[in-house]
């Protein structure tokens, strides 16, 4: 697979340690930075990495920051990205298998090298199952992404119906 990696300054060292792991698994890697430990803003690198996934130049992405939270929040604002800040083996593969997660986010200050390598291996070794229950749920997520205004009303206290596809829709 074609894998894009990106990090901020706090994720730089973990990214550097994971690059040879990803390559050893036979994947082509594009590193969009940062390339030093000088302070940078994580949203810039989340966008840089995720844009390659969205436009098809990368099959999946791996982002690194201090906790994994900031990169995950920023990445999930980008349409087409399904990012997970993962710290356990099960979630690293299950996120792909059930949720079609296309970006793994790791915290350089929260997990060690051995765990990071295990998570990278699990994420890159997993495939989306496409089972009916997972496909149905993924369609609901994609509906939310495609129609945020429908769901904004729900967030401010409106009651909810279930739409034709089983997707909650605001009651007007």
∠ CA(32), CA(37), CA(40), 5° rounding? Answer: 65
Give start and end residues of each alpha helix (H) in the chain: 12-24, 42-54, 69-75, 89-99, 113-125, 132-146, 148-155
Q: Indicate which residues carry an active-site annotation.
A: 65, 98
Residue 37 carries which DSSP code?
A: S
What are the angstrom distances between the C-alpha of 3 and each of 19, 42, 120, 147?
A: 10, 19, 11, 29
């Amino acid at each position: 697979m074609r894998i894009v990696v990106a990090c901020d300054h706090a994720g730089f060292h973990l990214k550097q340690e994971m690059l040879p792991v990803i390559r050893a698994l036979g994947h082509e890697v594009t590193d969009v930075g940062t390339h030093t430990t000088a302070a940078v803003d994580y949203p810039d690198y989340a966008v840089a990495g995720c844009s390659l996934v969205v436009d098809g130049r990368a099959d999946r992405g791996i982002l690194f920051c201090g906790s994994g939270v900031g990169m995950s929040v920023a990445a999930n604002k980008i349409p087409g990205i399904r990012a997970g800040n993962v710290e356990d083996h099960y979630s690293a593969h299950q996120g792909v298998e059930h949720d079609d997660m296309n970006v793994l986010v790791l915290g350089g200050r929260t997990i060690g090298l051995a765990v990071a390598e295990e998570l990278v291996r699990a994420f890159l070794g997993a495939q989306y199952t496409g089972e009916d229950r997972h496909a149905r749920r993924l369609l609901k997520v994609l509906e939310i992404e495609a129609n945020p205004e429908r769901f904004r009303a729900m967030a401010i206290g409106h009651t909810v119906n279930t739409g034709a596809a089983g997707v909650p829709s605001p009651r007007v």
